[in-house]
Structure 1
Amino acid sequence: MQILKIASLPKYIPFETNLNLRNEFGEYNLLAELLSDKNNIPFIFVKFQGQNKAFISERSDYGYGCILTTYGKIKNRLQAENICISDTTVRPRKDTYLFDFDCVNEAILNALVHNDWTITEPQISMFNDRLDILSHGGLPN
């Protein structure tokens, strides 16, 4: 308490102000919506059969909630999809995964952080031969 008086800082700064969750009119902004437990923002994971978008084998929506929870769900899904192929004809056995999980995780984080949420949400598409991560926007100028 004494430190606050010396520094002449207010005793309490609402977290909404501290995190800039409200606009100049006092309404919640897009960041607040992204962090809320319930929102109107989908986050779609689509799995296709083959190498094009002709046949959808599975479509899952992990959105409509806090972006941090959504990230956790997407991360868990990608860990489940990253199957291990083991060659047991050699010693020690050789394990090969479909993709480097750390690289894909970084790409997902970049898609979430650098996405222009005023356009639309990112989308993840999984094909037999690749994983597409679509994010709108880019790095700031």
Structure 2
Amino acid sequence: MNATIAKFGWPATLIAEFDHWVVLLRPTQPTLGSLVLAAKSDATAFGDLPAEAHAELKTATATIEAALTRAVGYAKINYLMLMMVDPHVHFHVIPRYEGTRSGGGLTVADAGWPGQPELGAAVRPDGALDDLRAWLQGWFDGAMA
């Protein structure tokens, strides 16, 4: 795994794994169910990923969307490829909804709804991190084929 994946807490934050991608629980939650979808590659440019990684992105995003639909009932979903500090290819996956959602021992409001996500208003799960990860992982287990 690359340094970006390690920085986001792998393996403790691992939710799901594909051949070319990992889905990690985002250490801070701007909305409930926020994730990091990270390429296992050492590529630092999206276009440098192998074709197989691009193809598998369809499966990874479909799995994420199926799981988060059931977990938080989002209205929209944002995939943010920021890569300003952490250089390896990754997306911040932010499910968007009006109001609050609860699960895994945490309640989180979407402070930016219906505008841009308020990343600075994110909730840090701290003591609930393991419970939140296990709760979300259960939704993924049912979504992966």
Give the TM-score band, short-chain normalised: under 0.3
Structure-1-length-normalised TM-score: 0.26
Q: Which has the higher contact order (CA 8 A, sep 6+)?
A: 2
Which structure: larger Rg? 1
Structure-2-length-normalised TM-score: 0.25
